Amino acid sequence: MSNEPAAPARCWHWDGTAGRYCRALDGVRRYLTGYRCPLHTPAALAGRPEVP
């Protein structure tokens, strides 16, 4: 087992218009689609409010 700290979670939303991944670090949570920042959660992308 390694003593190295785990890498921080990053948002892996693909932004096709920019041609890159978001890679934000703030407020990232795990969803079925992967790690997402608040701007790229499934609800945010569908234009719905987040479920509390």
Only one residue has tokens 């920019």, namely 18
Domain ranges of the chain: 14-45
Q: Which two tokens stand for residue 1?
A: 């087992």
pLDDT-based confidence at residue 7 (cuts at 50, 70, 90): confident
* Tens-place pLDDT, residues 17-49: 999 999 999 999 999 999 999 999 999 999 999
> Model-level pTM?
0.80
> Between the CA of residue 1 and those of 4, 5, 6, 49, what are the distances in Å?
9, 11, 12, 41
> Between the CA of residue 32 and those of 5, 26, 42, what are the distances in Å?
24, 19, 9
Instruction: Look at residue 1 and tell me whether its pLDDT is greater than 80.
Output: no
Query: Measured between alpha carbons, how far is 4 from 2 in angstroms, rounded to an integer?
Result: 5
Interacting residues of 39 by C-beta distance below 8 A, sequence separation 6+: 11, 13, 22, 24
